[in-house]
Structure 1
Amino acid sequence: MPKITIPEGYTLIVEGEASFRVLGGELRAYGSILEADREYTVEPLRAVPLYALKDSEIDLYTGRVSFVKGDTVPPSREEVFRILEKDAKKIMIVGGLDSGKTSVATFLANKFAEKGEKVAVVDADIGQKSIGPPTTIGLGIIEKPVLTLSEAHFIDGFFVGNITPAGLLHRHVAGVKLLVDKAEDELKADRIIIDTTGWVTELEGRELKLFKALVAKPDVALIVSRPNECIQMEKILGQVTKTIRIDVPQLVKARDRIDRKEYRKYQYRKYLANAKTTKVSFVGRKILYTLTFTGNELGKNELTRLEYILGSRVHYAEMSDDHVSIFSEKSVPEEISSFLKAMYGHRRARIITGAEFMHTLVGISGDGKMLKGIGIISGVDLSSRSFEVLSNVDIGENDTIMFGLVKVNPLTFEEETIIEKTVFFREPRPLQRFILPLPGQTCSSTSPGQQAESCIPFLLVQACGA
């Protein structure tokens, strides 16, 4: 455990994963004086600046450090705080990737907490979380200064289900709205800070910030950016709320895709520590974020007919207004889906073997919380119509399961893939040839859909396109 002395007027950058104890002196981090003889931790791929107001000393247990002369936190932070202190209850922080948004949020939370205020932080950066697990929006409370936002007391969250808001703006905006309302109405927070993603380019990225501002109604939007950046974003938000532009902190640590993925891996492991497997029935269960399990269950006779068509055991099938889902023990040629689509009146047909759900990340809601926890589907048992879900929370019969678009290996916690929202509803190739009835059967129509109804049971003879 090396002892490190930080001379007055210097900043020690501590890079995680790290832990240290303040032995003496006076160190400031993100606007707050660190407590003596208290152990602090820094998460992997994160860095914290410790500025010495006078000669100081720490015990470094783990981690890497480097020295910088002067304070890395711009003096303008104090000026901005004095402006916000007067009448800004809700503050939204906006900026590009690696612009230091979270450090600004931490600084402001600490300054307000030092004044005895109850600070709510809505962490909407679903890909690089400080509060709550990845793919979620988290709500935390800070009532005393913290070194990082991960020290906030987690209150609740909202499961978005992906590491990016692209294509899911509706969920993202709804989650921010619900958690801001909870912070304001239920928690009676004195201040609410909304930390956002770094997506500020393209129409969708800018509209995401605009709609967040429209539903959250911040008193101020802080634009954390370098000169000549976020110009359009500032103009757009300036039409719905007050904006203040602030500088990017010195020595902001840039992270690439690999770094970001590694950090999420660390967080999956953190939030699934000591997880256990629970068998969860998918029949009669409240399930969201998937079209499957939302239709009307087909009866035993229909399952028998489907087994004859597919040549495979069918454990469950359901039909809705626009699709039919069939749980089959074996996969079948894509052409069969085309036939089933015609048979069921041109609905989309989906053949499910269970493998499609393996390792899917899920959110769990219940016990009065929008986000009780997360889990990973580690097994599928079609015969008992159930999933095995690996989670560190107890999954009750009345809890809701929300399907994500991310697959995570339950052993290594590596992200395996991002599921395309339309992957299960790809349009199959159309029928191109003909269907022959079995002996004794006749067909009364030449259209594929009507043939299918009048020729069951049947034989397929070069029925689908090559």
Structure 2
Amino acid sequence: MSGVTEAGFPQEWQQKAAEIIESGRLIVLVGGVDSGKTTFASYLVNRIMEAGLSCAVVDADVGQASIGPPAVISLGFPESPVERLSDIPMDSFYFAGAISPQNHLLPCVVGTKKMVELARKKKNPDRIVVDTTGLVRGRVGRTLKAYKLDLLEPDVVVFFQRRKELEDLARIWERRAKAFRLRVAAEVQRKTFEERARNREEKWRLYFAESTRHELPLKELAFSRGILGAGQPLEREEREKLSSSLGKKVLWAESSSEQGILVVEERLSEDELLWVKACLGLEQADLHQLSPLYFRGLLVALISEGGEARALGIVQELDFEGEKISILSPLPAGEKIAEIQFGSYRFPLINGQPAFQRAAFRPPEHGQPSED
């Protein structure tokens, strides 16, 4: 099911493509894992361009990404016919921070909306095609798709079904927009967990292939989407006094009205934690203690002063003593970074370098569906 010609594509696709294209500007594809959404997206892009229309594609499949790397929602503008969606270069992206929407519904929904808006702002294309994740089953899947469609307000929704499993959504959206129901083609082959993991591994390798080490001073950065950066950091002198009183090294400390954070090499006892809480005025708040190793291997996004995601990175070291963070990233040298967004995905590091294969073949996390 590859190639830019009609041959090999399901007849139903060929029959419906023109009507889908003519039915509206924003086209959203919804279906389960291995339902043919991504292949259909590439086929639709070519048909749109054959019709003399400009096009944008939002790749919202954070687990089996095509345009950008995994864990992001990416935007691309095809300039010529494509054999597959991955032929489209990434123009911009929004960091979801994980390879599954499970426990990350909000960034997946918000990111898709922001990339659609950015497509309109940048090039105002005639058609925008949104390829979504395969998570459609159960309460989580339905919640994700229902709210994503509500926020996007598409003109066209294409549902890919095997046994009418999406009829509840289809019945709603045939009253709000133009809805199409396509059968999952017999040509579509299911991928194993290992195959899906290998696909991610290859995407990671390609993305980080030209990466270099970037050292960024902590004082010039804001941190978001993680436990770090939620409070006001203690000055070095205050940390040293705290360390002296405890008899244990406090590498980092910050506090807010809601919580405090300690980064310590040696874990504190309950009594020591209670004493620190009293010192920081956190008697009614939570106090979290972390090892400095907690941050190693975390996937992050590097954000400009204007809030634009410039590149992904992998934390190699967070040096609290030197007050700097070392990140492996393809970010061009000299680019100014103002914010670091923490993801929940972590790579094993071997001699400071990410072991993509080991990360790719990890079994799903507890509670995380395999349908990424």
Alignment of 1:400 with 2:339, yes or no, is yes
The alpha carbon displacement at 1:337 in A equals: 3.2
Identity %: 28
Cα distance, 1:301–1:279 mapped onto 2, change above 3 Å: closer
Q: 1:351 aligns with which of 283, 289, 308?
A: 289
Quick one: structure 1 residues 397 and 326, their matched pair in 2 at CA, closer, same or farther if it must change by over 3 Å?
Answer: farther
Offset at 1:272?
A: 0.3
| Aligned twin of 2:164 | 228
CA offsets per residue over residues 383-423 of structure 1, 9 Å max, x none? 11222100111364433211010001334213287889xxx
Distance 2:306 2:41 in 1: 28
* SS of residue in 1 equivalent to 2:141: helix
Task: Name the SS for the 2:267 alignment partner.
Answer: coil
In 2, the alpha carbon distance for the partners of 1:381 and 1:330 equals: 16
2:257 pairs with one of 312, 321, 328: 321
Aligned twin of 1:389: 327
Please identify the structure whose Cα radius of gyration is greater.
1
Q: Does 1:274 align with 2:217?
A: no
Query: How far off is 1:259 after superposition?
Result: 1.8
More helix by share: 2
Corresponding position: 1:415 with 2:367: no
Q: 1:328 to 1:371 in 2, by over 3 A?
A: same
Larger relative contact order (C-alpha < 8 A, sep ≥ 6)? 2
1:319-358 Cα deviation digits (max 9, x unpaired): 1121111232333345633554455223211223310000
SS of 1:283 mapped into structure 2:
helix
Query: Where in structure 2 are there 5+ consecutive unaligned residues?
Result: 367-372
Q: Which amino acid aligns with 1:186?
A: K
Is 1:77–2:21 an aligned residue pair?
Answer: no
For 1:452, the equivalent position in structure 2 comes to none
The 2-side partners of 1:192 and 1:310 are apart by 58
* d(CA) in 1 for partners of 2:314, 2:293: 13
Distance 1:236 1:261, change over 3 A: farther
- 1:368 to partner: Cα distance: 6.0
Decide whether the 8 Å contact of 1:210 with 1:237 is kept in 2: no
Q: 1:114-263, aligned counterparts within 5 Å?
A: 114-238=50-174, 240-263=176-199
The answer to which of 185-194 and 388-397 deviates more is: 388-397
Q: Structure 1: 5+ residue runs without aligned partners?
A: 1-12, 14-28, 34-49, 52-70, 421-466
Q: Deviation at 1:113? A: 1.2
Q: What is the CA-CA distance between 1:115 and the residue it aligns to?
A: 2.3
Say if 2:231 is the partner of 1:287.
no
- Contact 1:116 1:144 (C-alpha < 8 Å) held by counterparts: no
How has the CA–CA distance of structure 1 residues 306 and 80 changed in structure 2, closer, same or farther, with 3 Å as cutoff? same
Corresponding residue of 1:366: 304
3-state secondary structure, aligned to 2:42: helix
1:55 aligns to what? none
State the Cα distance separating 1:242 from its structure 2 match. 2.8
SS of residue in 2 equivalent to 1:203: helix
Q: Distance in 1 between matches of 2:72 and 2:238?
A: 39
Give the counterpart letter for 2:90 in structure 1.
F
Alignment partner of 2:317: what SS?
Answer: strand
Q: Secondary structure at the match of 1:175?
A: helix
The 8 Å contact of residues 58 and 129 in structure 2, kept in 1 or not, is answered as: yes
Contact 2:23 2:178 in 1 (8 A): no
The one of 89, 92, 101 aligned to 2:25: 89
State the AA in 1 paired with 2:337.
N
Number of equivalent positions: 357
CA distance in structure 2 between the aligned counterparts of 1:323 and 1:315, rounded to whole angstroms = 17
1:352 alignment partner AA: L
* SS in structure 1 of the partner of residue 273 of structure 2: helix
Deviations 1:60-89 (CA, angstroms, capped at 9, x unpaired): xxxxxxxxxxx4x22111221121232311
- Once residues 241 and 132 of structure 1 are traced to their aligned partners in structure 2, the CA distance between those partners, rounded to angstroms, is 29
Distance 1:345 1:95 in 2: 49
Per the alignment, in what secondary structure is the counterpart of residue 90 of structure 2? strand
Q: Secondary structure, in 3 states, of the residue corresponding to 2:209? A: coil
Aligned CA distance change for structure 1 residues 149 and 159 (closer, same or farther; 3 Å): same
CA separation of 1:399/1:342 partners in 2, compared to 1, >3 Å: closer, same or farther?
Answer: closer
| Between structures 1 and 2, the one with greater strand share | 1
1:271 Cα shift?
0.4
Report the Cα distance in structure 1 between the residues aligned to 2:271 and 2:56, rounded to whole angstroms: 54
Indicate how the Cα distance of structure 1 residues 306 and 220 shifts in structure 2: closer, same or farther if over 3 A, else same.
same
Match of 2:43 in 1: 107
Which amino acid in structure 1 is aligned with residue 290 of structure 2? I
Distance 1:115 1:131 in 2: 23
Letter in 2 for 1:383: E
Partner of 2:369: none
TM-score of the pair, normalised by structure 1 = 0.71
Residues 76, 297 of structure 1: alpha-carbon distance in 2 compared, 3 angstrom cutoff: same
**Kindly tell me: are residues 300 and 379 of structure 1, through their superposed partners in 2, closer, same or farther at Cα, counting changes over 3 Å?**
closer
TM-score (norm 2): 0.88
Question: SS state of the match for residue 326, structure 2?
Answer: strand
1:336 to 259, 269, 272: 272
**What is the identity, as a one-letter code, of the residue corresponding to 2:359?**
E
